[in-house]
Amino acid sequence: MSSEKSFAAGSPAPGPVPKDQVRLYSMRFCPFAQRTRLVLHAKGIKFETINIHLKQKPDWFLEKNPEGLVPLIETPAGEVVNESVITSEFLDEMYPEKKLLPATPFGKAQQKMMLEHFSKITPHLFKISSARRKGDDVSGLEAELKEKFTNLNEHLVKRKTKFFGGDTITFIDYMMWPFFERLGMFEVQHCLDHTPELKKWTERMLEDPAVKAIMHSTEDHKTFYNNFLDGKPDFDYGL
Ligand SMILES: N[C@@H](CCC(=O)N[C@@H](CS)C(=O)NCC(=O)O)C(=O)O
């Protein structure tokens, strides 16, 4: 697709997925879709993107995914897969040339356990920003976040590795990254001050070509997010 502009209700349905690629239904500022996009970029998979206007979803999108969520992957064979982690694992298996998940059952299980723990951190970030917006005292919530970051930091210290799955980037790093890219947007960047290894991990991630290729600045994230919270998201912001 030549344009990144979002498709809204009433827009014509895209044709079949071209034979040699996959199609991603996405939204440019969605942290979950960013996971799938990171995997697509990191593995060098040929894909096209259809961004969806999530406040006015086209019927043809809802037919593919009645839950109405992005990310969604569609293959030329008509297979449709949703949920960020599931789409990412699906792509990793479908294109086995550069595997992001470890080969061993235990290695895979370790990453999935870590992801399960991490899935409890993401709602906490949204909780902090919504409490702050209401003018509530967020010091208790921030203390909890620091504790969660300390656990992640400990993980890196114990393993003595640069990334969460070893000395090179793997699946788990990409699944966690979109939320770290948004620490400034959530105004919790200072919560990394006492977790030096985790902070170093964020710096290393910023050097990764896939991360660099699709990242937004904190300023852009903030603008999008504030408009979103005000009920006026601009899915085409910056285009
Ligand atoms: N658990 C889902 C969450 C995906 C999600 O929440 N996507 C949001 C955009 S960031 C969405 O599609 N929202 C549309 C809606 O809520 O109607 C995943 O990991 O893929």
The answer, yes or no, to whether any atom of ligand 1 lies below 6 A from the CB of 27, is yes
Could you give the residue range(s) of every CATH 3.40.30.10 domain in the chain? Answer: 22-99
- Residue 1 clears pLDDT 60, i.e. is over it: no
The dihedrals phi and psi of 115, each to the nearest 5 degrees, come to -65, -40
Q: What is the pLDDT of residue 3?
A: 79
Catalytic residue among 24, 27, 30, 42: 30
Q: Is 72 near ligand 1, meaning CB less than 6 Å away?
A: no
pLDDT digits (tens, 9 = 90+) for 8-31: 999 999 999 999 999 999 999 999
Superfamily the domain 22-99 falls into: Glutaredoxin (3.40.30.10)
pLDDT value at position 51?
Answer: 98
Map residue 30 onto helix, strand or coil: coil
User: 82 pLDDT exceeds 60?
Assistant: yes
The answer to whether residues 86 and 32 touch, using CB atoms and an 8 Å cutoff, is: no
Q: Which residue has the tokens 């910023």?
A: 206
Within the chain, all domains assigned CATH 1.20.1050.10 are found at 105-227
| CB of 2 closer than 8 Å to CB of 18 | no
Give the pLDDT confidence score for residue 198 in this predicted structure.
Answer: 98
What is the CATH code for 105-227? 1.20.1050.10
Q: Is 105 helix (H, G, I), strand (E, B) or coil?
A: helix
pLDDT at 160: 96
How many angstroms is it from 158 CA to the middle of ligand 1?
Answer: 33
Q: Looking at the CA of residue 57, tell me the nearest atom of ligand 1.
A: 17
Both tokens assigned to 143: 């203390």
Percent of the chain exceeding pLDDT 90 equals 99
User: What pLDDT does 2 receive?
Assistant: 53
Indicate if ligand 1 lies below 6 Å from the C-beta of 86: no
Supply the pTM of this predicted model.
Answer: 0.97
**Ligand 1 centroid from CA 32, angstroms:** 7
